[in-house]
Structure 1
């Protein structure tokens, strides 16, 4: 697979997979990987926000990535998010990702401590120097408190390893502006799941999102409709996706996604504290949401929906 094809389409931000005691569970991670690949996703983004990477030790993150890569076996693109609060840990995770066989690495900027642009550049450049893998900047200012600027991006793209930006901000205009800086072969990865279609129209090569994992069939259908030039159908699917997301956001979202997966036969355990878990009071909402979701999926993947 060429680099051009590797970084296109539906790339799922992989949910963390724990056992019933809350420990990382490689077997559950493999089962979830298979569930997603069998539904036609293009790739997996491991260890990011949805993957609870920042709530795991470096050793746990390595074990999850190894499990995903083993089950994936080259079928889809695997991007390892290796961002950490220290440069040392990010470099360690980057080196491991290369040795394990990841297709690319990605990283948020340093967080909590408010670093300067040059501090962020120094952090990312240390990661770049540690491996030969393609690198994707992860721009998510709402959680990191750091905003990638056009001037910093111009500086970073001087290194050919920097192949793209995963942009999780509500502005398709910002996506387009970053794409213009990077150039035609530069990859933008749309972050907000609610605007997958908008991101693709404005120049994104792919989308990376967490809710994809609970409803991969809908995002795969959205991508297919967009590629086929059927924007009316793509818009319809995006509106259905957004209907599901609106209901998810009324719940503890990370835990609710895992509950939907559980109803679909994929057991990923719960979430790690301090993330909020769903409880018995949420059951009616989850039941109604599951029925709605499977109704939408039945429009595009009736065999899959019948098995649920």
Structure 2
């Protein structure tokens, strides 16, 4: 057993690189389900260990309920049974989250990812009630998605301790970038799987006990992030550090190309894998920004 093994109570034993796969759109911003499935295939064929449709990079808050169900079905149909498919089902209301969770389980996902409810403030009891109701509605493992910068709701370590006692809660995808919080959470809960949710903390996450990496960079350059994980897993920490440094450079390039999510889809175009635009009000990089980004990625020998 190594320090970065999955949680002992995680039936999926999630580990490795799990990209938050993109939702593809046609030029008129309607969902391109076939291309969305193709992107899941793109990353799986390049060695990732699981896929996470309808995360932040999947633009889930911008989709209708019907579109969200279609994305989940498309991804499960394409790669289900090959790698774990953990689908994002979170919504501001418990009612809608439960409905998404029940649908996702019915079409064959392996696990569900439940972002902390957003917009309205959430106290300790509300968080417990929310996750308990979702977990009771399905038999699939539930992974808590902690991203307080986007939801406005931070989970305390005390709240996490109570959430960990809910049957079916199997892990946490942490995008707080709060390393002390994450380290203490991992230390307190060997039963849970922890996934590092920031490309800036891939190596650090593994060092403090995460078993897996939810990486936006892996949407465009899965080979790079898989190599980083494999190097660490094989005990070559120097190589893993070098590859984390390259990921830092890719992050910088993505930001030069506009917003981070714009960088992902723009980079995919540069790899001749076009997944269309972002859905408004998000937008792809302008030509000048994209050209700057291309120069940086070519310098990194990634194109």
Q: TM-score, normalised by structure 1?
A: 0.91
> What residue number does 1:129 align with?
136
> What residue number does 2:195 align with?
189
Instruction: Check the 8 A contact 2:87/2:111 in 1, yes or no.
Output: yes
Give 3-state SS (helix, strand or coil) of 1:24's partner.
coil
Among candidates 231, 237, 243, match of residue 231 of structure 1? 237
Instruction: Check the 8 A contact 1:150/1:181 in 2, yes or no.
Output: no
Instruction: Give 1:26 deviation, angstroms.
Output: 1.1
Distance in structure 2 (CA, Å) of the matches to 1:17 and 1:124: 29
> What residue number does 2:72 align with?
65
- Superposed CA RMSD in Å reads 1.6
CA 1:98–1:148: 2 relative to 1, 3 Å: same
CA 1:4–1:107: 2 relative to 1, 3 Å: closer
> What residue number does 2:5 align with?
none
Instruction: Check the 8 A contact 2:251/2:260 in 1, yes or no.
Output: no
Give 3-state SS (helix, strand or coil) of 1:102's partner.
coil
Aligned: 1:141 with 2:141: no
Instruction: Give 1:192 deviation, angstroms.
Output: 1.1
Instruction: Check the 8 A contact 1:175/1:203 in 2, yes or no.
Output: no
Give 3-state SS (helix, strand or coil) of 1:114's partner.
coil
Aligned: 1:46 with 2:53: yes
Distance in structure 2 (CA, Å) of the matches to 1:87 and 1:197: 34
Instruction: Give 1:6 deviation, angstroms.
Output: 4.1
| Structure 2: runs of 5 or more not aligned | 1-7
Among candidates 109, 114, 135, match of residue 116 of structure 2? 109
Deviations 1:104-141 (A, max 9, x none): 11111111111212112211111111101101111111
Alignment of 1:1-308 (within 5 A): 6-183=13-190, 185-250=191-256, 251-293=258-300, 295=301, 297=302
State how many pairs are aligned: 294
Instruction: Give 1:259 deviation, angstroms.
Output: 1.2
Instruction: Give 1:276 deviation, angstroms.
Output: 3.2
Give 3-state SS (helix, strand or coil) of 1:138's partner.
strand
Deviations 1:231-256 (A, max 9, x none): 11000000011011012123222122
Instruction: Give 1:226 deviation, angstroms.
Output: 0.2
| Structure 1: runs of 5 or more not aligned | 298-307
Distance in structure 1 (CA, Å) of the matches to 2:52 and 2:12: 16
Distance in structure 2 (CA, Å) of the matches to 1:267 and 1:276: 14
Give 3-state SS (helix, strand or coil) of 2:214's partner.
strand
Distance in structure 1 (CA, Å) of the matches to 2:11 and 2:90: 24
Instruction: Check the 8 A contact 2:25/2:31 in 1, yes or no.
Output: yes
Distance in structure 2 (CA, Å) of the matches to 1:19 and 1:276: 13
Q: TM-score, normalised by structure 2?
A: 0.93
Instruction: Check the 8 A contact 2:51/2:86 in 1, yes or no.
Output: yes
